[in-house]
Structure 1
Amino acid sequence: MKKDIFIGMFVGLVANAIGLFLTATFLGKGDDFTTVIKAAAAEGFLGKLISLGAVLNLIAFFIFIKKRKDYRARGVLLITVFIAVFTFVFKLFQ
């Protein structure tokens, strides 16, 4: 059970990282990833990019639900909630 939750958490982190990379690449107007992240941090919308990156967690969550891997889906959900709280706190202190 714990192993499945950790697998789900890992998948959620990887999906969020890939989503962040894709979001920064598509919305970056041709700039590289690090330039987009630095500009987003300087202009105050890094939290929004991270939140958009979490959209891929939805896909992972529903795949796990469809395959009846409920504990893995729970891990993805935990990471998604953690990212939401992180972006809220990040935005609050920015």
Structure 2
Amino acid sequence: MAHKKDIIIGFFVGIIAVLIGIFFFDICIGIYKGSSFNRIINRSFSTTLLDKRASIGVLINLPIFYLFLNKKKEDIAKGVLLATILVGILFLINKL
């Protein structure tokens, strides 16, 4: 049972990391362009160019994945990898 629980925990960690990555990317770009905070928030929830922003957000999963591998938490790392693959497949389907 702990095996499945760890994979689910890793999956949610991976999804949350992607969302944080998208939001962080939007904040950085918004500050660079001099946008207002409301415009940055609206862009974060916008679906335009979401696939490009999500691909950058997925990059945050890489160090998280290796962190769990180094801590001998392979099942949680599997969940992070599963979340990364799922996000990739969803955006691949969205492109078609």
TM-score bucket (shorter structure): 0.7 to 0.9
Deviation, 1:46, is 1.7
Percent identity among equivalent residues?
39
Structure 2: stretches of 5+ with no match in the other structure: none
Which of 33, 44, 47 aligns to 2:41? It is 33
Give the length in aligned residue pairs.
88
Structure with max Cα Rg = 2
**RMSD of Structure 2 on Structure 1 (CA):** 1.5
Moved >2 Å (runs of 4+): 28-31, 35-38
CA drift at 1:80: 0.2
TM value normalised by structure 1: 0.84
1:57 corresponds to: 61
Q: What is the correspondence of 1:68-83 to structure 2 with a 5 Å cutoff?
A: 68-83=72-87
Say whether residues 1:20 and 2:22 are aligned partners. Answer: yes
| Distance (Å, rounded) in 2 between the aligned partners of 1:7 and 1:36 | 25
Unaligned runs of 5+ in 1: none
How much does 1:36 deviate?
5.2
